[in-house]
Structure 1
Amino acid sequence: MSQMLHEIMLQRKQLQRWVKLGPWYAMFPLEFAQASIEQHTKPGQAVLDPFMGRGTTLAAAKMLERHAAGVEINPVAWVYAKVKTEPCDKLLLLERLEEVNRLSKGTKLQQMPEFYKWCFCDEVLRFLLIARSELKWKDDHVDRTLMAIILVDLHGNVEDSLSNQMRQTKSMAPAYSINWWKAKDMHPAEKDAYAILRRKIEWRYKHGLFSNKSKIMALNGDSTSILKETAEIGPFHLLLTSPPYYGIINYNYDQWLRRWMLGGPELPKYSAGKYQDRYDNKIQYQELLSKVFGESAKLMHERAHVVVRTDARVFTLESTIKALEEAFPGKSIKKVKRPVLGKTQTRLYGDQSKKPGEVDLILKPKPRQRTSQVKSRFE
């Protein structure tokens, strides 16, 4: 095997361990992101994703040696995106894990809602409470990486996560969970949080870290107000994104337990502020798309392409097309229908009813009109 081929295979292994970091419902397909970036940009150019979710667009751009910037309003997804594109050194991470574990020993458990006693054994809960209070995930590179590792398996299969039996992609309602556990007489098993997380870290870092000269910026906040901060990465040659679909998923409620881990309330709340619920207000939804695509247009190269994956349902599709046409009047638009093949934003967890699928909206610069500089010899 040639040295170059060996390096390529190693890079792929390194990337796969990090690119898919973070359970997240309605995940942007990596293959689609890669194909779009390769088709519409060149190495060294920049990609923008104003609804970046867990950062698949940014990770794909880095893999392909493009620069990229994105914004995400949900802090859980932002932690995933930030860490998968910029994980810390393994030894520093293990040292921090040991420190948090040491601090958790002998910690007195506080009074908490009944849910937590059914979800986690005492040792795990002590660890989580210390990690929740000690890790400065917003600002510290190492702490953020450890928090991401914790969030991934905060809940899921009882044999492979920190919790009692739960779904991994979605935090179920406390009352529902308690009733389910009680009905099955399923108390939380005794677990060692340190041992579980140490094993997860060893797996994640098995092939090392991938790095190149790509500049990546991942921001946590509202794209309608902070998108302009990504300008230092641009001008962008590709806008690649998938906005939230109207009335489908509440990322705040569905990720409430992970948001608690990041300092949020102990029990779920429907909304954490504007644009952080189910997007079921038509006026606000249209306003969101218009503002974000309007701000994005200011950051794009004049010959940039735009690729937006959206819902095939009439209101979401028409609202998205209208916002894009207003923001990019100089571009032609093409619609490509995508059948439902897996867990998309139109296929809720457990909902097997027929779905209308998704649509890719592809905007390209209109051909430049050329004016002949040579007069006809017959004039």
Structure 2
Amino acid sequence: MPAPLPVIPKREGEYWTARQRQMHSLHYVVSYRAAFKPELPDYFIRRYTKAGQIVGDPFCGRGTTVLQANILGRYAYANDISPFAVWLTRAKTNPVPLSEVCSFLAGIDWEGSVAESYPPELLLFYHPKTLHELLLLKKSIREAETPVARFVALLAVSRLHGHSPGFFSVYTMPQFSVPPQAQRRINRKRRQVPEYRPVLPRLLAKAKAALRDGQIAKIRRMSMHNCYTRCDARTLYGWQSESVDLIVTSPPFLNKVDYLANNWLEYWFLDIDPETFGAQMLQTANLEEWQAYMACFLQEMERVLKPGGVCVIEAGDVLYRKQTINLDETIAAALAAAGCRFLQPLEVLIQRQNFTKLSHCFAVTNNCKGTNTQRMLVLQKK
């Protein structure tokens, strides 16, 4: 029989505020489904590291851990199998002054011609003139290939779809790209057709909001030394052994989010082909398969952490075959199966608070359904 799992101390409370948008404005430049709040990495970065140390996120997503590390004067390692996630993280951690954004946009001939073809389904979301301006913007960004162009692309991605006049699209979901057939139903139900929404003023408004909290020079100074990689989190090429002081991450949950379908408009704008990486992503509804993946992942965390380094894995509780599964316990079991000699569990922190508007969009109610708590398994390398 396998050895019983060690008893891991659990602490429950509200470790950061439930209030929205309390951190640096750059954190909120893009909505990203299944992303944790910046208060989470902020709590652990302050608790376990000092200025100048290295913080890593092997599933960097929208770059929350990496950006907060740079804001707090730490260097960062960012990885994801998705090129969109790595691009997003790099763009957010390399902001540019508002004056440079304005200069770039002023150099675009918004009445010019563009020969690029596009999927006809885009007209479910955009007025033809708005779409024409987006194509002109895509062309200018692609031709420039500069940090300014990349940051402008980030601003554009943030405005591609949403529920208010500040977005380029007709009314739709802001957190993910609705499939064309679903958008057709939304348009029919709301009796709406895309209206012309000029791209330029919306980009300028978003730039002002994203850069409102400043610290551009500091963030860029720290991010110059960041490491950005795109590979399987079980084999982190480019991450040297015993090089990282703290890892704060959240692996993909059990088949909760389809990251490929949810970002198809972003992939279109950035010319990302999901077929080049989709098969490599961890998207499974099988608990045993997920646990086996995590066992290999934990072996890699043991390799890259410095002695004394800490790994914080955010996981929730999920409904699996009509039973509630605490994924931190699944990860703890994976740690035992992995045979890690030096990576040991310290505690589980359970964050309980009222859910946000975004959670309610996906029928997640407070502490009773779906992925509805945040459970942080804290490990340390001895």
Match of 2:232 among 205, 223, 238: 223
Whether 2:75 is the aligned partner of 1:75: answer no
2:309 is matched with: 304
Contact 2:59–2:249 (CA<8 Å) still a contact in 1? yes
Secondary structure (helix, strand or coil) at the match of 1:295 reads helix
Structure 1 CA distance, aligned partners of 2:200 and 2:299?
Answer: 46
1:88 deviation in Å?
Answer: 2.5
Tell me the amino acid that sits aligned with residue 217 of structure 1: N
Deviates more, 1:85-94 or 1:129-138: 129-138
Structure 2 CA distance, aligned partners of 1:327 and 1:243?
Answer: 20
Secondary structure (helix, strand or coil) at the match of 2:375 reads strand
2:34 is matched with: 26
When the two structures are aligned, how many residues end up with a matched partner?
348
1:92 is matched with: 100
Contact 2:302–2:342 (CA<8 Å) still a contact in 1? no
Secondary structure (helix, strand or coil) at the match of 2:197 reads coil
Structure 1 CA distance, aligned partners of 2:31 and 2:276?
Answer: 21
Contact 1:135–1:144 (CA<8 Å) still a contact in 2? yes
Match of 1:192 among 188, 195, 198: 198
Q: Which runs of 5+ in 1 are unaligned?
A: 1-12, 367-379
Structure 1 or 2, whichever has the larger Rg, is: 1
Name which structure has the greater RCO, CA cutoff 8 Å, separation 6+: 2
Secondary structure (helix, strand or coil) at the match of 1:248 reads coil
2:362 is matched with: 349
TM-score by length of 1: 0.80
Structure 2 CA distance, aligned partners of 1:156 and 1:133?
Answer: 23
1:245 is matched with: 253
- Give runs of ≥4 in structure 1 deviating > 6 Å: 344-348
Match of 1:122 among 121, 128, 146: 128
Contact 1:33–1:60 (CA<8 Å) still a contact in 2? yes
2:63 is matched with: 55
Structure 1 CA distance, aligned partners of 2:359 and 2:289?
Answer: 20
Match of 1:170 among 173, 176, 189: 176
Q: Which runs of 5+ in 2 are unaligned?
A: 1-20, 319-324
Deviation per CA, 1:274-332: give whole Å up to 9, x if none: 24363335565344323333223222111111211112243744442234443743243
Change (3 A) 1:263 1:226: farther
Whether 2:303 is the aligned partner of 1:295: answer no
Provide the aligned C-alpha RMSD in A.
3.2
1:151 deviation in Å?
Answer: 0.5
Deviates more, 1:75-84 or 1:173-182: 75-84
1:321 is matched with: 332
Tell me the amino acid that sits aligned with residue 238 of structure 2: E
Could you tell me the percent identity over the aligned residues?
20
